[in-house]
Amino acid sequence: MPELPEVETIRCDLLTQIRGRYFDFVTLLHPQMVQQPSSEEFCIGVAGQRVEDVRRRGKYLIITLTSGKSLILHLKMNGVLLFSIPSSLSESYARAIFNFQDGGVLYFCDRRKLGMMWLVKNDNEVVGKLGPEPLEPGFTVDVLRGVLQRHNVPVKALLCDQSCIAGIGNIYSDEILFATRIHPLRRANTLSPDEVVRLHQSIQHILTTAISKSGASIDTYRRPHGVAGTAHLSLQVAHRGNKTCYVCGSPIMRIEVRGRGTYFCPRCQGDTSHALLNKER
């Protein structure tokens, strides 16, 4: 699933390419992806609108229109926004096609048909329950400490919970915990003050670095012009099961934490004294 670095990269690319342009019409090849309003009202509401801004909230893209409404998109597991469909991607994966009055086209492709779209007057109808943005100035160590202290769950599960912190998913939570040398099964509310500080630093460093590398192209993720990101080339543990840890040489392990495949180094992150005694995943 595209996470904060990938969605932020897409946001920046779209901002430079579509701000100020006018939508002509929308072709919905999978109308079920529209969550609100009806698919017919969605198409009518987008047609003829000028793009005023492109923002991000967590993993959501928010396109502000001249009507004052917001076109909100969530790419889910495999969604990608492209100005043209490359030969490596079947045209049958196109689920929505946004046509611009100047002749340009933006495709919303999604192999699994999980992507979602909304057209709403108030963004909070869709993103209002998200937690704090981890790269915003307001995300301080104290804010993170408060979030951690309120939850007696595996820290990996908390990092992936969008109501706790917005934008972090499976890949970057593994990388963040490895950088902090924290076992993914540690209960969130057992972290020491020093660990909270280091976790805060790792969250911001890992996400910022991934953005600078345009995100991780592990699966279908591509930037709108079809270019791959390079952040996956620097991953330390994520998707490296049974491969050697770059730091200590131990094999990277994979476990499940609350249904999520989780990668970690048992030696670098091997402090299990605070891990869940019942081996909760």
81 part of a folded domain: yes
**Final residue belonging to a domain, choices 101, 127, 153:** 127
276 part of a folded domain: no
57 and 157 share one domain: no
Give me the domain span that covers residue 27: 4-127
Side chain identity at residue 255, one-letter code:
I
145 and 260 share one domain: yes
Strand intervals (E) in the chain: 23-28, 34-36, 51-57, 60-65, 70-74, 80-82, 94-100, 105-109, 116-120, 253-257, 260-264
Report which of 54, 9, 59, 41 is spatially closest to residue 118, judged by C-alpha positions.
41
* Helices 4-18, 193-212: inter-axial angle, 10-degree rounding: 40
Residue that has been written with the tokens 């950088």 in this structure: 179
Q: What CATH number is associated with residue 180?
A: 1.10.8.50
Query: pLDDT digit string (tens) for 21-59?
Result: 999 999 999 999 999 999 999 999 999 999 999 999 999
94 and 11 share one domain: yes
Neighbours of 274 (CB within 10 A): 16
| Cα dihedral: 218, 229, 102, 72 (round 10) | 60
- 168 pLDDT above the threshold of 80: yes
Q: What CATH number is associated with residue 116?
A: 3.20.190.10
15 and 122 share one domain: yes
**Final residue belonging to a domain, choices 102, 127, 152:** 127
pLDDT at 279: 52
Query: pLDDT digit string (tens) for 124-152?
Result: 999 999 999 999 999 999 999 999 999 99
69 and 152 share one domain: no
Residue that has been written with the tokens 């611009």 in this structure: 100
120 and 171 share one domain: no
270 part of a folded domain: no
168 and 62 share one domain: no
What distance in Å separates the CA atoms of residue 88 and residue 117, rounded to the nearest whole number? 25
pLDDT at 272: 57
Query: pLDDT digit string (tens) for 147-160?
Result: 999 999 999 999 99
pLDDT at 277: 37
What percentage of the chain exceeds 70 in pLDDT? 96
236 part of a folded domain: yes
187 and 94 share one domain: no
Q: What is the mean pLDDT of the chain?
A: 94
Query: pLDDT digit string (tens) for 186-235?
Result: 999 999 999 999 999 999 999 999 999 999 998 889 999 999 999 999 99
205 part of a folded domain: yes
Distance set, CA 213 to CA 12, 83, 137 (Å): 13, 20, 22
pLDDT at 271: 62
Catalytic site positions: 2-3, 59, 260
pLDDT at 91: 77
65 and 99 share one domain: yes
pTM strictly above 0.85: yes
pLDDT at 67: 98
Side chain identity at residue 260, one-letter code:
R
105 and 172 share one domain: no
278 part of a folded domain: no
123 and 146 share one domain: no
- 274 pLDDT above the threshold of 90: no
- 87 pLDDT above the threshold of 80: no
194 part of a folded domain: yes
Query: pLDDT digit string (tens) for 91-123?
Result: 789 999 999 999 999 999 999 999 999 999 999
157 part of a folded domain: yes
Split at pLDDT 50, 70, 90, the class of 183 is very high
What distance in Å separates the CA atoms of residue 174 and residue 253, rounded to the nearest whole number? 11
- 276 pLDDT above the threshold of 50: no
107 and 157 share one domain: no
Split at pLDDT 50, 70, 90, the class of 68 is very high
The total number of structural domains that make up the chain: 2
pLDDT at 189: 98
